[in-house]
Structure 1
């Protein structure tokens, strides 16, 4: 079977991405989403500006000390830097493992409750994965999205459909040599409490790993990218970092097999500083865990970077990026001192977030 020929490589890639004290830079924003980010800083969404910004990320000096891999959008994977070399090679020169977003976005789920979605992109995935591997990508990402609402979301249909889609994707890309990041994101939208989130997340993760098993996914060559276990953004009872850590670890310990090399949390609308503080609390609470507990942050690594770059100041942008990379690298060891690195401080929550 095709997967068997890649098992050793898949395990080695997953281990490299699970390096202690590190995480991933999620730089896989679509052209439309990066346009929204640029609009906020007064920069035109042109290919030249996208090239310049992603070259800034790839050449931030010493980034590889805290970042083990980078998730790219297809444009960036095949894009040349201003000097003529590929942006991919610039990231690789820093020691980062390159990865690629392979899902093709969300669509309304027929038969689901209002607002429920399923993730598209399985058609043609085998061929695209082979092309991405040939280009140099070594892992992939697929984002399924679920929401908690007062009218019984998520439905069983939505949970099962998204779990199956994640499993089909994971098996498909493994057969082409790519480590799958399995991302069943539960949006922060809503006013539900942390106990509700925990119950839903346990349900979701149990069904995800059941589907992965049915599809024969090689767990040692896969990674999980979950939400932290937090209440809805509108819930008035806000947990302390210690409480959030306790619920998050309980959720994972109940549901995630020890064979999975790493759990890389998404920031999900937390501010830059919150994302670091919560991850730090998880490490301080965990003791010995069977998995590496890291991060895979997009906005929580780039918000300050974008603002300081503003289309022209590469050095300031890179300094801001490195500050948050350091903060999160320290958090991934449980040694971050809150406020010791500069941050934007702004809430990054966006209702019904998509990219």
Structure 2
């Protein structure tokens, strides 16, 4: 797939984007969920080797190439590794899956009810490497904890500022100002978030587009204006800690929003499953997430 093919696939493809981008901090928890205990690896290299084995097994499973997974978000080490003897991005494209790369370097301490991204000092080098590896887009996460207008304005401004740098490098930015699903004031805060995003979208120069990855809103179809905005390629939803069933049920109420789940996709996979059991379990999750993304 070339860039035009990948753009069309993401813009109008029927399916969802898999989040396979657990990094250092979240990897041990992901491995435990997969059934790989802490005493089965020692040090970062072995840990990342174990998680790459899991991701490779997902990517090479027959159900992953059934056309319902239109994109996948990778961690840098996964991009740098190989699947089936090929660079991971190429292995994904062979399966009709558009590759994205996680580019943030973690979260800053909370201030004004939000956690901004830490300074992205490695971004220029990572973008250059990502282009060389044939990636289509990027993803970067920050988190909103409360309906603080100043904090939400700051988080959206940072996302768009970095997003423009990513566009300049020739990649599609997926902005992820996640709203903590446990926040009691989320409905109010999501209205503020939407307003801030629209303001920045309207200020984007002609010819520029971004993607958005957002928590499934409290108010169904709140983000319809964002989905329909000409400067938004696609709006995707994060599972935010919901189970597959919960996330899918909530997503179905939001027309035009598609999934980009991690836990919701991988929660029932286990290292000790046979290949047939593994693929059947993965395929069931893929089918349910795709159905919820087709509303």
TM-score (norm 1): 0.73
How far did 1:16 drift? 1.4
The residue number in structure 2 matching 1:92 is 93
For 2:206 and 2:117, the matched residues in 1 are separated by 19
For 1:217 and 1:201, the matched residues in 2 are separated by 26
The residue number in structure 1 matching 2:281 is 320
For 1:331 and 1:20, the matched residues in 2 are separated by 14
The residue number in structure 1 matching 2:251 is 279
For 2:294 and 2:30, the matched residues in 1 are separated by 30
The residue number in structure 2 matching 1:163 is 156
How far did 1:72 drift? 0.1
Is the Cα contact below 8 Å between 2:72 and 2:98 reproduced in 1?
Answer: yes
For 1:71 and 1:227, the matched residues in 2 are separated by 16
SS of the equivalent of 1:159 reads helix
How far did 1:227 drift? 0.9
RMSD: 2.4
Q: Which of 20, 31, 38 lines up with 1:38 in the alignment?
A: 31
Q: 1:101 and 2:65 equivalent?
A: no
The residue number in structure 2 matching 1:134 is 132
Is the Cα contact below 8 Å between 2:156 and 2:197 reproduced in 1?
Answer: yes
How far did 1:14 drift? 3.7
The residue correspondences of 1:112-151 to structure 2 (distance < 5 A) are 112-113=111-112, 116-148=114-146
Q: 1:80 and 2:82 equivalent?
A: yes
Taking a change above 3 Å as real, the CA distance of residues 76 and 157 of structure 1, as seen in their structure-2 partners, is same
SS of the equivalent of 2:176 reads strand
How far did 1:92 drift? 1.7
Is the Cα contact below 8 Å between 2:114 and 2:155 reproduced in 1?
Answer: no
The residue number in structure 1 matching 2:271 is 309
The residue number in structure 2 matching 1:294 is 258
**1:307-345 deviation line (CA, Å, top 9, x unaligned):** x334x64432232122111111122224xxxxxxxxxxx
The residue correspondences of 1:193-204 to structure 2 (distance < 5 A) are 196-204=185-193
Structure 1: 5+ residue runs without aligned partners?
A: 1-7, 149-153, 231-246, 284-291, 335-355
**1:267-323 deviation line (CA, Å, top 9, x unaligned):** 11111112222222334xxxxxxxx42111111001012xx334x644322321221
The residue number in structure 1 matching 2:199 is 210
SS of the equivalent of 2:116 reads strand
Is the Cα contact below 8 Å between 1:20 and 1:332 reproduced in 2?
Answer: no
Aligned residues: 284
For 1:256 and 1:332, the matched residues in 2 are separated by 13
Structure number with bigger Rg: 1
Structure 2: 5+ residue runs without aligned partners?
A: none
SS of the equivalent of 1:99 reads strand
Q: Which of 215, 234, 241 lines up with 1:269 in the alignment?
A: 241
**1:139-185 deviation line (CA, Å, top 9, x unaligned):** 1001121012xxxxx43332122111100121111111211111111
Is the Cα contact below 8 Å between 2:211 and 2:234 reproduced in 1?
Answer: yes
**1:208-236 deviation line (CA, Å, top 9, x unaligned):** 332344454855x3211111123xxxxxx
TM-score (norm 2): 0.86
SS of the equivalent of 1:261 reads strand
Is the Cα contact below 8 Å between 1:58 and 1:87 reproduced in 2?
Answer: no
The residue correspondences of 1:163-202 to structure 2 (distance < 5 A) are 163-190=156-183, 192=184, 196-202=185-191
Q: 1:27 and 2:20 equivalent?
A: yes
For 1:185 and 1:127, the matched residues in 2 are separated by 25
Is the Cα contact below 8 Å between 1:22 and 1:67 reproduced in 2?
Answer: yes
How far did 1:124 drift? 4.0
